[in-house]
Structure 1
Amino acid sequence: MRVHDITMPIHPDMLHWGRKPEVEVVESIEAGHASNVTRWRLGTHTGTHVDAPAHFVTGATPVDEIDLETLVGPAVVLDLTGVEGEITADHLLAAGAAGHERILLKTTNSGTSGPIHDTERAPAWVGVGPSAAEWAIEHGVRLLGIDYLTIECHTRTDTWDVHHALLPAGVIILENALLTDVEPGEYELVCLPAKLAGADGAFARTVLIER
């Protein structure tokens, strides 16, 4: 068994959408305290994270009520590294999406020089388009993930079309999956977002198990 950790490390200088994480030292052995204690201030959508339906639909399922069977189970990593801009339904089919309930999209975002490795948001990145979102809904996809800050293409961050399609339909979104060193293929996904009661999303330790 081989375990691939696809979680982005969280730290103050990481890639971020809005505010960077902040760390406060509350106690330290060096200062004479009995132990080291820190307080972290960070958003629910920091690093590798899950978007719950409540992110875009008031009163919808929050992150702590997402079915764990959606977040844990067989998954496929698809090779979308040949796509520029927006991923379509045809791209998904060509890459082998059919028959899978948990799909992670490996794009040029997580290439060795891709924007997921930067500390500031890129002006452009590869994202999912509406036709791919509709295909996922129609074919029973439970979780759709991508290797950047948002599953939305950079051209749609004013309208958020894909979020508005997927989340009301109950398709869970995983963002910022670090897929640089993961080969396309079938795995077992274990994605465990922090159990923040009533939250719109949560940062998630996420691994792919290769057996």
Structure 2
Amino acid sequence: MPRQIWDISPAIHPQAPVFPGDTPYSQQWCATIGPGCPVNVSAITLSPHVGAHADAPLHYDAAGASIGAVDLNAFLGPCRVIHALGCGPLIEWRHIAHAISADLPARVLVRTYEKAPTAWDPDLAAYAPETVQRLADLDVKLIGIDTASIDPATSKQLPSHMVIRQRDLRVLENLVLDEVAEGDYELIALPLKLTQADASPVRAVLRALG
């Protein structure tokens, strides 16, 4: 029997929320089916941070790798979904400690919302940098979150981004975990091979472990 799949990517459309000042999604038709034209062809404009996305080191490090140069292994494999509902502005270790065990997978996704927002949330929850450090100490290679950033929206120092830079972790943001129970899954969230970009949209899914 096919293994169950959970789509944890938000829909991308012109009203999809973006970080203030970022480029929203827009689309135009370059060709449409009609006399003399057998196909529809569109052109899209968007920030690579729209919807579910993977940040590249280039996003937070001027000398960092583009998303097209990042190894894909972190974005594919066993992961653990942990609920930290009502955690407040920062996901502290006490909010996720109940789900930490000796068999922790190399990928951790944290749910903070009861229901994913449909508009920009200036009060989004983020990771405390100490939490990221402790996950890295446990050999976690990728962290994910259901908000738009692993740092608070108003942060200029980006301490959690600095931790993932120092510890060489990968990150997924803007996931939708509303329908996902705590537990272990297979994560599939491959970024596009954009050779100069600081991030890439992903179609993030979870699959039941076989």
Residue deviations 1:19-46 (CA, integer Å, cap 9, x gap):
2111111111258632111100011111
What SS does the aligned partner of 1:167 have?
helix
After superposition, residues 32-71 of structure 1 pair within 5 angstroms as 33-71=37-75
Alpha-carbon offset, residue 59 of structure 1: 2.4
5+ residue gaps in structure 2? none
Aligned length: 204
Q: Sequence identity of aligned pairs in percent?
A: 28
Q: Aligned-residue CA RMSD in angstroms?
A: 1.8
Q: Distance in 1 between matches of 2:36 and 2:121?
A: 43
Distance 1:26 1:129, change over 3 A: same
Conservation of the 8 A alpha-carbon contact between 2:143 and 2:170: yes
Q: Distance in 1 between matches of 2:100 and 2:161?
A: 22
Match of 2:141 in 1: 142
Match of 2:5 in 1: 3
For residue 15 of structure 1, what is the amino acid of its counterpart? P
Match of 1:15 in 2: 17
Q: Distance in 2 between matches of 1:9 and 1:124?
A: 21
Match of 2:184 in 1: 186
Q: Distance in 1 between matches of 2:160 and 2:17?
A: 22
What SS does the aligned partner of 1:150 have?
coil
Match of 2:195 in 1: 197
Residue deviations 1:118-165 (CA, integer Å, cap 9, x gap):
23x2231211111112112222210000001111134x5222111111
Distance 1:59 1:210, change over 3 A: same
Alpha-carbon offset, residue 179 of structure 1: 0.7
Match of 1:124 in 2: 123
Q: Distance in 1 between matches of 2:101 and 2:41?
A: 45
Conservation of the 8 A alpha-carbon contact between 1:52 and 1:200: yes
TM-score, L = length of structure 2? 0.90
For residue 194 of structure 1, what is the amino acid of its counterpart? L
TM-score, L = length of structure 1? 0.89
Equivalent of residue 103 in structure 1, options 103, 108, 113:
108
Q: Distance in 2 between matches of 1:31 and 1:78?
A: 53
Conservation of the 8 A alpha-carbon contact between 2:9 and 2:51: yes
Q: Distance in 2 between matches of 1:167 and 1:4?
A: 29
Q: Distance in 1 between matches of 2:37 and 2:26?
A: 21
For residue 92 of structure 1, what is the amino acid of its counterpart? I
Alpha-carbon offset, residue 198 of structure 1: 3.1
Conservation of the 8 A alpha-carbon contact between 2:83 and 2:96: no
Match of 1:167 in 2: 165
More helix by share: 1
Conservation of the 8 A alpha-carbon contact between 1:80 and 1:95: no
5+ residue gaps in structure 1? none
